[in-house]
Chains A and B, each alone.
Chain A
Amino acid sequence: ASVISRAMAADLVQEGLSVVALAALAAAVCEAISWLLFYRTDSYRDMRQAVERTNQKIAKAQEEAARSKEEQDAKGKARAKAKRVARFEEDLRLIDREIGNFQRNSTLAVVVVSIFIYAILCSSYEGVVVARLPFEPFEALDFLARRGLLGDDRRECSGALLYSLALVSFRSNLQKALGFCPPKKFAQVQAARQQAAYIHSKHMTL
């Protein structure tokens, strides 16, 4: 019985690994499409350079505004410097929006290809258990965890769940490794700096 169960476990691992490999391939294809339609283009490069230039202008303008406040310059001068910072921040928001609009086409192509690969996976792994879950998933996730599976065993894992998890992980990590990430949105960068300054001011430690 233990030989049979070891053989079954080996089969399960093999199925699981083949699903993970398919997810890795799908992630590579999606990133290749993103690179071809978006990251490789001159428009993206120009927009990225515009973001970096504007960030530098904002940093410089913030320094000048802070210095002006410290030196207690005339109210009008300090206000003008603060307005300058706000203007550059608005320029950055517009560039963020432009990047988002331009990225829409490549995102659409990636979604279409992802759906196609997902459909192939679901039909190939119909009724096939690819792994054993160490937990019972919520019923709300049954559409993914038990897709195409028969029987009542809630710890059986379908190809769809494993594929989705692996794809999320591989795509993000591939994007990070290859540098295929649009620059962080201005609002996120600002929020991170404000939170860091707050933590530092309260002398929070571990």
Chain B
Amino acid sequence: MATLVHWLRQVIGLSLGIAWGLLGIRGYTGFILYVLLSISTVPAICSNRLSLEGKRLGEVMSFEMAKEGFLPAFALFMVTWIMTYTAVHA
């Protein structure tokens, strides 16, 4: 479960970093949107796409799982956001 959440978070970080860079999103709005989307998307995917429910979904929604892979995903988001923004809008 923790591994699934970790990799989901990395994919979301990478995708949002590229998207934010292409769209030219600037400032701290980008960070706030990323944090909100990252925290809400993972449980939503687990519930809707992977049909997790009950205690397993509860595990995904817990604070411990919110921390799982958050920092590396955030760092990945920052790197892709910065590089894409530099390539397209610098």
Partners in one complex: yes
Stretch at the interface among A9-17, A32-40, A50-58, A77-85: A9-17
Given A134-B30, A135-B26, also A165-B61 (CB < 8 A) = no
* B 30-61 to A, binary, CB cutoff 8 A, 1 in contact else 0: 11000000001001100100000011111101
A176: Cβ under 8 A from any B Cβ:
yes
B interface residues, how many (CB within 8 angstroms): 45
Q: Label chain A's interface by main secondary structure.
A: helix
A149: Cβ under 8 A from any B Cβ:
no
Contact A134–B26 (Cβ < 8 Å): yes
Q: Please give me the 6 A-B residue pairs with the lowest Cβ-Cβ distance, nearest first.
A: A195-B62, A172-B72, A199-B58, A192-B64, A196-B58, A196-B59
A and B contact pairs by CB, cutoff 8 A, 21 listed: A8-B90, A12-B90, A16-B86, A131-B86, A132-B82, A133-B82, A134-B30, A134-B89, A135-B26, A135-B28, A169-B79, A172-B71, A172-B72, A176-B7, A192-B59, A193-B59, A195-B58, A196-B55, A196-B62, A200-B58, A205-B47
By a beta-carbon cutoff of 8 Å, the part of chain A in contact with chain B is 5, 8-9, 12-13, 16-17, 20, 131-136, 157, 162, 165-166, 168-169, 171-173, 176, 184, 188, 191-193, 195-200, 204-206
